[in-house]
Chains A and B, each alone.
Chain A
Amino acid sequence: MIMSFSLPLVKMQSLHKSYADGAIQVLKGIDIEMKPGERVVVIGPSGGGKSTLLRVMMGLEKIDSGSVTFDGKPYISSGSSESKTVIDMSVRRSIGMVFQHYTLFPHLNVLQNLILAPCKVRGEAKSKAQDRAQTLLERFGLGAKAKAYPAQLSGGQKQRVAIARALMLDPKLMLFDEVTSALDPELVGEVEQVILQLAAQNMPMMIVTHDMWFARNIASRVIFCAGGVVVEDGPPEQVLGSPKEERTKEFIDRVFHINQ
């Protein structure tokens, strides 16, 4: 047996999160353990807490209670006093995230977008960061776009740049929050190809998506999240193919119906 596989990469324990002083509960006790090398796709209806879950993982949202450990180290916990969420910044640096709306810096060109964090956060030499950036861009078919500004790129290109930018920091976990939802249908494929490329290299990832074809292709595990709780959790063929839970089944039927 390979012992290292017994240690989870991510361990979320009883995560609770609400807005408006508890009036709107988004996460109602989420427990998820993720092993290294796993690719977890989170599906579910809008407002079910999927995106919030990813935002909490990135340290963008406070939590009401619960905790997250990452690679065996404490990462996020609700502090002793109220509304104080403690986030370990050094742990956060090993997580990368890509958003629905690209969030590139519009005043910087592609290369500058990629090297800003490595140079400013890690103090990496500019020439070295530029070399790494160029290599990464070539790999994603964007070699010729290094000097272009985000506004001069298509949505698919922007999103591939955003993925490359996150990878510049050598993350141990990548979070993808509906990264193809804002794209024209013909551009979805090129972005998904890049993510599949990362999957082939065993990059651990958590993906929120509405694209069931993509979910089936990339997931090593699918979690169905609704009403702020995990309803079903299992291998893709089970959750997407023959779900056990009635709620999952309804959702899958509806989504596949729409896709056809």
Chain B
Amino acid sequence: MELDFSILSKFQYALLLGLWTTLKLTVICIVLGCALGFAVGLARTSRNIVLRALSSAYVEFFRGTPVLVQLFWIFFCLPLMLGVELSNFTSGVVALTLYMGAITSETFRASLKSIGPEQFDACVALGLPRNVQVVNVVLPQAVLRAIPTLLSNCVSLFKESALVSAVGMADLMFVGQNISNNTARPVEVLSVVALIYFVIAFPLTRAVSVIEARILGKLAI
């Protein structure tokens, strides 16, 4: 077969627009998802049994079901149950934020647990009040330790976001699929789409190991 990549130049703008939607969706869901994840991570290590049960149920449910099913459920079932129309974008944000919250909460939980009891001994010996312990000792260490895994979580989210094309959101994947259908040139179009995802995701995965080495080297935490 003959490959002709020149047809893609016609769709440059459409692809860029799709990429923009993908990036916007990913960044918003990273921010909201990490905040949710940290709160849920704290709840899961809390002494309050109700908080622990609720947060665990949420995390296990979202980790134990396919993201595609979650997306469909939020797109089609949630509006029926709430009786309100949600825009495509809002539904996408809700679905991917809940997914991101579930996976990052595990990351934060692990990093919170990895802070040894001797750090708390030091806090007591220095007379640090509870709020200072949390803000100046626990939180920065938990976040620093979580960064490498969080970055991996972000890369996963960026890739998983392609699923929103299945519910008609005009992201990079959706645009690519449409172009491929209309031009009957799936090899060229889908290869380029894959390449675009890769060019963005690859540096991030590399950054994970660099940052990991930095944090481990300098702070040994």
Seen from chain A, the residues whose Cβ lies within 8 Å of a Cβ on chain B are: 58-60, 89, 92-93, 96-97, 99, 101, 103-107, 116-117, 120-121, 149-152, 165-166, 169
Bound state CA distance, A150 and B136, in angstroms? 16
* Residue contacts A-B, CB under 8 angstroms, 5 given: A58-B125, A103-B125, A106-B219, A106-B221, A151-B220
A-B pairs, 8 with minimum CB distance: A151-B220, A103-B122, A117-B126, A97-B125, A106-B221, A120-B132, A103-B118, A93-B127
Judging by beta carbons under 8 Å apart, are A151 and B217 in contact? yes
Judging by beta carbons under 8 Å apart, are A107 and B219 in contact? yes
Quick one: which of B132, B141, B217 contacts A107, CB cutoff 8 A? B141
Judging by beta carbons under 8 Å apart, are B128 and A99 in contact? no
Quick one: which of A101, A106, A121, A152 contacts B128, CB cutoff 8 A? A121
Q: How far is the CB of A216 from chain B (nearest CB, A)?
A: 27
Closest B-chain residue to A105, C-beta based?
B137
Q: Digit string of B139-163 for contact with A (CB within 8 Å is 1, else 0)?
A: 0110010000000000000000000
Closest A-chain residue to B122, C-beta based?
A103
B-side interface size class = 20 to 34
Bound state CA distance, A57 and B70, in angstroms? 55
Judging by beta carbons under 8 Å apart, are B126 and A99 in contact? no
B87 CB-CB contact with A under 8 Å:
no
Known: A103-B119, A152-B218. 20 other contacts (CB 8 A): A89-B127, A93-B127, A97-B125, A99-B122, A101-B118, A103-B118, A106-B141, A107-B219, A116-B126, A116-B132, A117-B126, A117-B128, A120-B136, A149-B219, A151-B217, A151-B218, A151-B219, A151-B221, A166-B126, A169-B127
- Measured between beta carbons, the chain B residues less than 8 angstroms from A103 are 118-119, 121-122, 125
Judging by beta carbons under 8 Å apart, are A116 and B128 in contact? yes
- Measured between beta carbons, the chain A residues less than 8 angstroms from B144 are 107
B129 CB-CB contact with A under 8 Å:
yes
Judging by beta carbons under 8 Å apart, are B140 and A107 in contact? yes
The secondary structure that dominates the B interface is helix
Q: How far is the CB of A148 from chain B (nearest CB, A)?
A: 10
Docked complex: B166-221 residues within 8 A CB-CB of A = 217-221
Bound state CA distance, A58 and B220, in angstroms? 27
With A107-B140, A116-B136 as given contacts, are A150 and B220 in contact (CB-CB < 8 Å)?
yes
- Measured between beta carbons, the chain A residues less than 8 angstroms from B219 are 106-107, 149-151
With A89-B127, A107-B221, A149-B218 as given contacts, are A99 and B121 in contact (CB-CB < 8 Å)?
yes
B28 CB-CB contact with A under 8 Å:
no
With A103-B121, A106-B221, A151-B218 as given contacts, are A165 and B140 in contact (CB-CB < 8 Å)?
no
Closest B-chain residue to A55, C-beta based?
B121
- Measured between beta carbons, the chain B residues less than 8 angstroms from A59 are 124
Q: How far is the CB of B3 from chain A (nearest CB, A)?
A: 52
Q: How far is the CB of B130 from chain A (nearest CB, A)?
A: 12
Bound state CA distance, A150 and B141, in angstroms? 14
Q: How far is the CB of A161 from chain B (nearest CB, A)?
A: 12
- Measured between beta carbons, the chain B residues less than 8 angstroms from A120 are 128-129, 132, 136
Closest B-chain residue to A94, C-beta based?
B127
- Measured between beta carbons, the chain A residues less than 8 angstroms from B217 are 151
Judging by beta carbons under 8 Å apart, are A96 and B220 in contact? no
- Measured between beta carbons, the chain A residues less than 8 angstroms from B136 are 116, 120
Q: Digit string of B108-139 for contact with A (CB within 8 Å is 1, else 0)?
A: 00000000001101101111110010001100
- Measured between beta carbons, the chain A residues less than 8 angstroms from B128 are 116-117, 120-121
Quick one: which of B124, B132, B137 contacts A58, CB cutoff 8 A? B124
Judging by beta carbons under 8 Å apart, are B124 and A121 in contact? no
